[in-house]
Amino acid sequence: MEPTNKKGVQGAATRAVLVGRARRLFALGFGKVSTPAIAAAANVTRGALYHHFADKRALFSAVVAEVAAEIAEFIDAAALPYADDPIEAVVVGSRAFVTACDDPETRQIFLLDAPAVLGWNAWRAIDAVHGLGSLKGGLDACARAGRLAEDDIDGVAHLVSGALNEAVFVLASEPRNELLRARLDTQIERLVRGVFIDEK
């Protein structure tokens, strides 16, 4: 529910500023950032920071969720022009996920620090809300087009998501390896296209 009073609006604005300023700092690495530095960057007191977030980890979790939401938006925007071809939309969206994760800020926050700081279960929960949800939407469109059994959507989503996640984690360890990226792009396309039922 949107805040309706002035105090609520101000609180939401302060929270947004904290997340935005913290995100820039966390791009340098979670361990390199202190709460005093975040408070100073947001021009608020440490008390104000702790009013909105229990600790640095809680603030980082909010930043990770924001990054994950933006990745999903990037995927959906890339796939949108292929709305009439749901399989191509899923293929393009899969490539877009890899591209989004190749951004240095996204790589540091979402791939390098988030699993270590938040734990795999928390990271997977955030990814499930955004990335996995976007993928399931694309697969649902493929099912409606008769190219995937409805009963297979969840299983295929986890299979493809797992492969994509592994691909971006591999690339995160070698971010400037263009040959590796090209090879993974090819294999991702083969894998994604391979899960669909052939047209009769």
pLDDT in tens, 49-73: 999 999 999 999 999 999 999 999 9
Within 8 A by CB and 6+ apart from 111, the residues are 101, 168, 169, 172
- Residue type present at position 115: P
pTM: 0.90
Please give the pLDDT value at position 4: 57
Mean pLDDT of the 28-34 span? 97
Q: Would you say residue 3 has pLDDT above 70?
A: no
Q: What percent of the chain has pLDDT over 90?
A: 86
- For residue 193, report the phi and psi dihedrals to the nearest 5 degrees: -65, -30
Please give the pLDDT value at position 11: 79
Please give the pLDDT value at position 109: 98
Please give the pLDDT value at position 200: 56
Please give the pLDDT value at position 176: 85
Within 8 A by CB and 6+ apart from 25, the residues are 32, 33, 37, 38, 41
Q: What percent of the chain has pLDDT over 70?
A: 96
